[in-house]
Chain A
Amino acid sequence: MDRLRDPAWAGRVFWTGAALVLLWPLGVATEFRPWQLFMPDTLKVTSRFLGSFFPPALSAEFLALVARGAWRTVAIATAGVTLALLIAVPATLLSARVLSISALSGRMARGPFWLRQAVRWMLIVLRSIPELVWALVFVRVVGLGPTAGVLAIALTYGGMLGKVYGEILDSGETHATETLLRNGAGRLQTLAYALLPQNAAELTSYTVYRWECAIRSSVVLGFVGAGGLGQELDSSMKMFNGSEVATMLFVFFGLVAAADGISGWLRRRLG
């Protein structure tokens, strides 16, 4: 079988070994003990919990509760993304390089340059703090309820959308924008007649994709008391009510699949 000898075996063995040596301390740090999952005690608890998934809870009362929770989840995501646009759109207008008039003649003037940097830094701060942390902060200030969730999504997603909108606008062909600006068009006119027609499809498509992500986020925010499906899931988990958990997981699959489908369909149509 000489023909099949691996010419690179030494390298492969070395890199596999090196990877294992590197992974070992990680396993120690994360208390990674998979065999624990298969201890008799753990197996008993796990199988009892999984067993209680069947049959899923399907009483009319509970289904109504879940439906209300699911709607609230979608509503929090939608309201959050809408408010995020209020942050992202002005920030994009302030930070996009293509809309700079002084940059037309070489280097951007110092004032506008630092203004753009400041806006970018603000967007970085907004999106670097996870939405869950924002939600924890707002729950302290406005109390439990959807307001905290909406604000958390608005701030984090405002930061993400603002950054990506700016990148989309800046990465396109600048011919049309430059021509308009050089001929004395205002920045807003340039935006409306050159940048938007060029980039509308991409901007919409990214926004819809983020809305889909926001639905997933808003479920998670329920766990810290922002309402919706996540909060119901959390309380059922705490009571080890497997059948309720099963129903909600199914509803959640459906919700994510529906959002996935709608957003995929829209993005295909936009090209």
Chain B
Amino acid sequence: MRAFGVGLALLVLASFASLDLQWAQFFSIDALRSMGRFMAEFFPPDLSPAFVQKVALGTLETLAMSLLGTALAAVAGLLLALPTRGRAPMRLLMNALRSIPELVWATLLLISAGLGPFAGTLALAFHTTGVLGRLFAETIENAPPGPAFALRAQGVGGTQVFFYATLPQVLPQLMSYALYRWENNIRAAAVMGVVGAGGLGQLLYFHMGLFHMGKTATVLAAMLLLVAAVDAASYGARRWLTR
């Protein structure tokens, strides 16, 4: 463990040494003042009806992206988690899907899907398929084998064994994983617009770029409310599932 400690210390030191971090500039009176001015400009948030309506539409779009992306990923993840033979290539595919972050998927998919929420939804679905596929596969593997074995011993085929024995056992767990990823995806969907893939992020990036700080504040507030609402909904749903 000592070698680990030394290695860790070296990694941290090398990281700080090799990055040209501008602390002096960040903690200078100048930067603090501009930070203060920046924050002060957030107030008052722009609450004109026209803009609020635009933000509301963006919020709905973000919510729809996260829901549809998660739903597609749950279905695709289940399909990838199913095959019991030839698992290695599936695992490789899921790892590849998972290790590319949503936002990077979005930039790659923009070329085929074009600017807008469609690319963002697909990006969420791709990354989440990798994550959920792995979790689903583990859950299905760890399900108690008794009921499946009982059906199999009666001569029931593989598909039916899955639908009548394995799936009912693991479904609450699978749903709760999907809900948990939904909480993650609402956060990812909120910033997807920074690369042009739809949702609230697009409004945020646009208005922040033009220094419309009042409008930026409204968008940020909508983001925080949306994330909090989704967290609460998902928490409630998971409580209900594991009752």
Is B112's CB within 8 Å of the partner chain A? Answer: yes
CB-defined interface of B82-122 with A at 8 Å, one 1/0 digit per residue? 00000000000001100111011001100111101110110
- Which of these binds chain B: A41-49, A94-102, A167-175, A191-199? A41-49
Chain B residues in 8 Å Cβ range of A4: 160
Write out the residue numbers on chain B whose beta carbons fall within 8 Å of the beta carbon of A74: 15
Asked if A128 CB lies within 8 Å of chain B CBs, one says yes
- Give 21 CB contacts A-B under 8 Å: A23-B68, A29-B64, A32-B118, A36-B113, A37-B112, A46-B111, A72-B19, A76-B19, A82-B15, A82-B16, A129-B224, A130-B191, A130-B223, A141-B31, A143-B25, A145-B22, A150-B21, A216-B99, A223-B195, A256-B99, A266-B4
Query: CB of B56 within 8 A of chain A?
Result: no
Identify A252's interface contact among B18, B99, B205, CB under 8 A: B99
Q: Is A78 touching B12 in the complex (CB atoms < 8 A)?
A: yes
Binding site for A on B (CB under 8 A): 4, 11-12, 14-16, 18-23, 25-26, 31, 34-35, 38, 60-61, 64-65, 67-68, 71, 95-96, 99-101, 103-104, 107-108, 111-114, 116-118, 120-121, 160, 187, 190-191, 194-195, 198, 201, 204-205, 208, 220, 223-224, 227-228
Closest CB pairs A-B (n = 9): A29-B64, A75-B15, A256-B99, A78-B15, A30-B117, A26-B68, A132-B191, A46-B112, A26-B64
Most buried by A among B12, B25, B99: B99
CB of A219 within 8 A of CB of B101, answer yes
Which B residues are in CB contact (< 8 Å) with A29? Answer: 60-61, 64-65, 117
Inter-chain contact total with CB atoms closer than 8 Å: 150
Q: Are B118 and A128 in contact (CB under 8 A)?
A: no
Residues in A1-44 with C-beta less than 8 Å from chain B: 4, 19, 23, 25-27, 29-33, 36-37, 42
* A side interface size, CB within 8 A: 60
Pairwise interchain contact A25-B64, C-beta atoms closer than 8 A: yes
B103 touches A146 (CB 8 A): no
Residues of B within 8 Å of A45, CB to CB, are 111-112
- Docked-complex contact A31 and B21, CB < 8 angstroms: no
- Contact partner of B104 (CB less than 8 A), chosen from A30, A151, A219, is A219
- The closest CB in chain B to the CB of A217 belongs to B101
